[in-house]
């Protein structure tokens, strides 16, 4: 009975350690993916700002050309 109890305790400890290891690996993978997505969102926001500035510049240039043509 003592050997069986010892064996069960060892197996339980081993399984617990493995589950903790798996959980930690999953958390690290999630953190990494989350950071990657945050970086992509930041890049997309910057790209949108650049596009908006470019759009405004094109609108201004178009209006200036129209004014010149009207003269």
Provide the pLDDT for residue 2. 92
Task: Report how far residue 33's alpha carbon sits from residue 2's, in angstroms, rounded to the nearest whole number.
Answer: 46
DSSP letter at 22 equals: H
Provide the pLDDT for residue 10. 96
Q: What is the pLDDT of residues 9-58, one digit of tens each?
A: 999 999 999 999 999 999 999 999 999 999 999 999 999 999 999 999 99
Task: Report how far residue 6's alpha carbon sits from residue 1's, in angstroms, rounded to the nearest whole number.
Answer: 8
pTM for the complete prediction? 0.65
């Amino acid at each position: 009975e003592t050997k069986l109890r010892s064996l069960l305790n060892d197996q339980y400890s081993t399984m617990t350690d493995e589950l903790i290891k798996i959980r930690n690996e999953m958390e690290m993978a999630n953190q990494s993916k989350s950071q990657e997505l945050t970086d992509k969102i930041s890049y997309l926001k910057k790209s949108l700002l650049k596009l908006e500035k470019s759009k405004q510049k094109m609108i201004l240039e178009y209006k200036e050309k129209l004014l010149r043509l009207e003269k």
